[in-house]
Amino acid sequence: MIQINDLQKKYKGFELNVSLTIPEGTVTGLIGKNGAGKSTTIKSILGLVKPDGGSIKVLSDAPGKNMESIGVVLSDSGFSMMLTIRDVIRILRASYKDFEEKRFCEFCSRQSLPMDKPIKEFSSGMKAKLKVISAISHNAKLLILDEPTTGLDVLARNDVLDLLRDYMAESPERSILISSHISSDLEGLCDDIYMIDRGRIIMHEDTDTLLGRYGILKMTEKEYEEIDKQYITITQKDRMNVTCLTNEKQFYLDNYPKMVIENSRIDDIIVLTLGGNER
C-alpha cells in the first residue's frame, strides 16, 4: 500500500530521513513527540510536501496520485465552519465518483450528527467523526489519519475507533496509516507501530510483540551490575534505582524470579525510549 525508502526533507533546524512500509490489510501506527516528523511524513505521502530525496509509492504510484482511493484526515484541516452536512454531501458528491451518499448519511445518523446545523456549532467529537465518516464513505482502499482523536473524550474516541475497525473489517485489501500520541488508541487498533524521533525511525515492532514480549525491569544499581544485559535495550537511572526496557521479558522472568518485572504499555516504551539511555 505504502512504500517509503529514504524519504528526506530538510527545514531549518530539522531533517527528516525515514523509511517505512504499510502492507495491504494492516493498520500501522506512527508515534512520536510533537515535532518528531509525523505530520511531515504524512504530508509527503499525500504530495502536500515536496521531499528533498528518497522515494514514495502509494498504491503503486507516486504521491498525490490515486487520491480517490485514499481517505484522509489531517489534524490541521477540515470543512468550513459555515457549512452544514448537507453542504458537505454536495462537496463529496462532486469530488469522488464512488461517494456512497446513502452510506454517509447512515453513518451520520448513527453518530447523531445533525444534517442542517452549521459545523461551527458541532462539538470537537462531532467534527472528528464527520472527518472520519467523510474519509471512509468513498470506497477508499487506504486511510491516512493524522491525530484523528486528539482532544476527544473517551466515548468520542471509542466511536471514532469503532468506525475505523468497521472500515477494516469490510475488506482485506484495505489499510490504515494513523499517527497518534494516545497510546491506548494504538494498542487496540494497530497491527504494528513505528516510533519516530527527531526525523528518524528509532523503533518498528508488531503491536503484539511490544505488549507481549517487551517488559519493564526495576532494580537497584547493585542488582543492575549483576544481571545479564544482553536483552536490555534501554536503561534509565536515577539516584537510587534503575529501570530498563527489555525485548525479552520471559528471559528475565525465568532467570531472575525475585526481580520486579512489569508488562509494558506503549506509553512506557515511549517514555523509556525517548527519555532513557541506550545500553
pTM: 0.90
Per-residue model confidence as pLDDT tens digits over 13-48: 999 999 999 999 999 999 988 889 999 999 999 999
Q: Are residues 26 and 42 in the same domain?
A: yes
Cell of 16: 527528516
Average pLDDT value for the chain: 91
Q: Are residues 265 and 132 in the same domain?
A: no
Split at pLDDT 50, 70, 90, the class of 279 is very low
Per-residue model confidence as pLDDT tens digits over 111-150: 999 999 999 999 988 999 999 999 999 999 999 999 888 7
Give CA–CA dist 53/16, Å, rounded: 10
User: Could you say which of 174, 209, 244 is where a domain stops?
Assistant: 209
Residue 179, class by beta-carbon neighbours within 10 Å (0-12 exposed, 13-18 middle, 19+ buried)? buried
Q: Are residues 160 and 225 in the same domain?
A: no
Residue 180, class by beta-carbon neighbours within 10 Å (0-12 exposed, 13-18 middle, 19+ buried)? buried
Number of domains in the chain: 2
Residue span of the structural domain in which 248 resides: 213-278
